[in-house]
Structure 1
Amino acid sequence: MSSTPSEPFESALPIELEQRIFELAAYTDPLLVPTLMVVAWRVKQWVEPLRYRIVIYVWPDLAATGLNGHRSYPLLKDLRPNHLQGRVNRILSTHPTILKNSTRHLCLNQTPHRDLLHAASSVEDLWLVPDSFHSSLPELLGALTLKRLHCTPATLFSDQWQNASRNHFTHSLFSNVTHLQILLIRSIDAAVETRIGLASLPNLTHFAFTDDIFLPEGTTVLGTCQGLRVLVFKLTFTRFPPLPTELGVDSRFVQMVCAKGIKDWHMGALTGMDFWVRAEEFIAKRRSGEVDCLEYVIPGDESENLP
């Protein structure tokens, strides 16, 4: 007797076209995946990996920021700390190959689970909330091919971050990064360290920062990072700190408000539309004349309108 489950659903479509249709439906609306998985065994095999394209691994206090109601893939959240380990272990034991082949976007806001990072080895887009420090984190991330990284360097390198004799941006974890957002640059020394380090990133095209202490370094960054196309000063509420004149007239610079940062990241992972894209579109309008070439502030806050 065959161990393969029977197929209750028969289709007159070519199998390749049928697979493409179901995958597109699952990709477009991940909430459909559980329903699609019971259509037929073959459909389950096609669409189940798409449930794990985005994984969010957070404590319950962060889940309260608005992710709960967001249309999403399975989120490792709303769990008491003593239950979190068990949930992760179950996913790792039942879906290790799926995580490796499918997970591209990962959000962590606590000490990362080593096995999770090993299993999700194809992650390209990582958001690290500042309290997620662990001494082995740089080593674990260095094994990934990260293209987008949102982090606090002090989180990655602990107290060594203030060691001016070491350029932490030469670490292998930054080698493929094109989009980098640095959170919490709270001192002049950290701002200088960041400015010097950015010039060593070979593939950097987009950079965002959230602290006005870095503003004096912005013009230098635009001059020393030859491949930089977008520089974003990203605020969580509307305010207008003094801005170096040279920075405001450079069409690559954008100032914007994005109060719901992780939610905006999640929408970008889900649909491709996030603050990076909004900045790119605004820059294009400056250059085409649709927006005044001296205007660098994107009005409003699109993140507030996310579902």
Structure 2
Amino acid sequence: MDLDPVFPPELEREIFEHAATLYPNVILNLLVVAQRVFAWVRPMLYRTIMVKPGAPPLAAFMRIIDAMPASSSFFRDSVHNLFVHQTPWLAAELQTILATCPGITNLAMMSTTPAVLPLLASKRLTRLALSLAQLFGSGPGGLLPHLAHPIFAHTTHLGLFDYVQNEAAWGAFARLPALTHLCLHSFVHRAQLRSVLTKCPRLQVLVNMHTNTEPEWGLADICGRLKLGDDPRFVLIALDQSVNAYARDWETGRRGEKDFWFLADAFVEKKRRGEIKPVSRCWICEHDGI
């Protein structure tokens, strides 16, 4: 069926694309409305790819890639977001996707390998979450000097899953030209956090994320030990750090909704306005969304 347009084409396209963004489950239905709608909406079907073992969508996506002509630019313009679960045995699939989809700007890798590093170098990754040790390998020079790599040149929001200690180069974050938001997972010494805040004046938000599961390590206790309440940019967040929970939060942010980055921004803004009172000389933001 190919219906005659009711609205001007640019308005009609905006309506259908907006509907596909808000309700991705209806994209397959929209594909059969009209040929022009098919051309507008089909790329949105592949806007976000989740690399997960045994997932039927991944298997179908790999078959489509294999069927596409080598000269096709379809996936270059279609795929913007990629989430990689803890799937080291899918390294070949990941390399194929990264090679086929150069337009990825939002990337989270719960597991990765140095083999994908050359495929990331040419991408403009604005949002990035990964383990430096997995991507670069651990060596005698430590992890943080790897931040000088070109893959971080455009990154505004960076999340690191590494447990980094005994590092003397925490000022390396200051060399990232676009960085405004940084999330460090698990326990980080307050001197290292203070070093990041001091040496990175362009940084707008520094998140230290914890799993609040042990009563003796409550948030207030952690805040008291960190003693960073004088810098409004610092936010302590507690959440379920399972892969599935992180994936749900990532997908929430991908849709433009309230992920942990959104909540951290709002929390920092409230602190700057004096609407949040300190707890044990630090600040707490509890993430209740996941």
TM-score range for the pair, normalised by the shorter chain length: 0.7 to 0.9
- Code of the residue aligned with 2:262 in structure 1: it is V
**Alpha-carbon offset, residue 24 of structure 1:** 1.2
Query: Structure 1 residues 165, 146: CA separation in 2 closer, same or farther (over 3 Å shift)?
Result: closer
Is the contact between residue 263 and residue 303 of structure 1 (CA under 8 Å) also seen in structure 2? no
2:45 corresponds, among 42, 51, 54, to: 51
Give SS of 2:155's match: coil
Who is 2:130 aligned against? 151
Give SS of 2:178's match: coil
- Code of the residue aligned with 2:77 in structure 1: it is N
- Code of the residue aligned with 1:23 in structure 2: it is E
TM-score, length-scaled by structure 1: 0.80
**Alpha-carbon offset, residue 222 of structure 1:** 0.4
Gapped regions of structure 1 (runs ≥ 5): 1-6, 64-73, 77-83
**Alpha-carbon offset, residue 165 of structure 1:** 9.7
**Alpha-carbon offset, residue 302 of structure 1:** 2.6
**Alpha-carbon offset, residue 226 of structure 1:** 2.0
Identity score, percent = 28
Alignment pair present for 1:169 and 2:147: yes
Give SS of 1:16's match: helix
Q: In 1, distance between residues paired with 2:74 and 2:239?
A: 32
Who is 1:102 aligned against? 78
Q: In 1, distance between residues paired with 2:94 and 2:264?
A: 33
Alignment pair present for 1:207 and 2:182: yes
Give SS of 1:159's match: coil
Who is 1:220 aligned against? 195
Query: Structure 1 residues 124, 166: CA separation in 2 closer, same or farther (over 3 Å shift)?
Result: closer
Give SS of 1:56's match: strand
1:250 corresponds, among 208, 223, 231, to: 231
Q: In 1, distance between residues paired with 2:256 and 2:144?
A: 38
Q: In 2, distance between residues paired with 1:289 and 1:48?
A: 47
Is the contact between residue 92 and residue 116 of structure 1 (CA under 8 Å) also seen in structure 2? no
- Code of the residue aligned with 2:138 in structure 1: it is D
Query: Structure 1 residues 166, 87: CA separation in 2 closer, same or farther (over 3 Å shift)?
Result: closer
Query: Structure 1 residues 165, 283: CA separation in 2 closer, same or farther (over 3 Å shift)?
Result: closer
**Alpha-carbon offset, residue 291 of structure 1:** 1.4
Who is 2:97 aligned against? 116
Q: In 2, distance between residues paired with 1:89 and 1:224?
A: 47
Gapped regions of structure 2 (runs ≥ 5): none
Give SS of 1:234's match: strand
Q: In 1, distance between residues paired with 2:46 and 2:205?
A: 30
**Alpha-carbon offset, residue 16 of structure 1:** 2.0
User: C-alpha offsets along residues 234-276 of structure 1, whole Å, 9 cap, x if unaligned?
Assistant: 123353335332x222100001123122210111002342111
1:266 corresponds, among 251, 261, 271, to: 251
Is the contact between residue 261 and residue 303 of structure 1 (CA under 8 Å) also seen in structure 2? no
- Code of the residue aligned with 1:236 in structure 2: it is T
Is the contact between residue 92 and residue 119 of structure 1 (CA under 8 Å) also seen in structure 2? no
Is the contact between residue 286 and residue 295 of structure 1 (CA under 8 Å) also seen in structure 2? no
**Alpha-carbon offset, residue 8 of structure 1:** 3.2
Aligned length, in residue pairs? 270
Who is 2:277 aligned against? 292
Q: In 2, distance between residues paired with 1:165 and 1:280?
A: 27
Alignment pair present for 1:179 and 2:186: no
- Code of the residue aligned with 2:254 in structure 1: it is A
Q: In 2, distance between residues paired with 1:228 and 1:92?
A: 42
Query: Structure 1 residues 204, 166: CA separation in 2 closer, same or farther (over 3 Å shift)?
Result: closer
**Alpha-carbon offset, residue 152 of structure 1:** 0.6
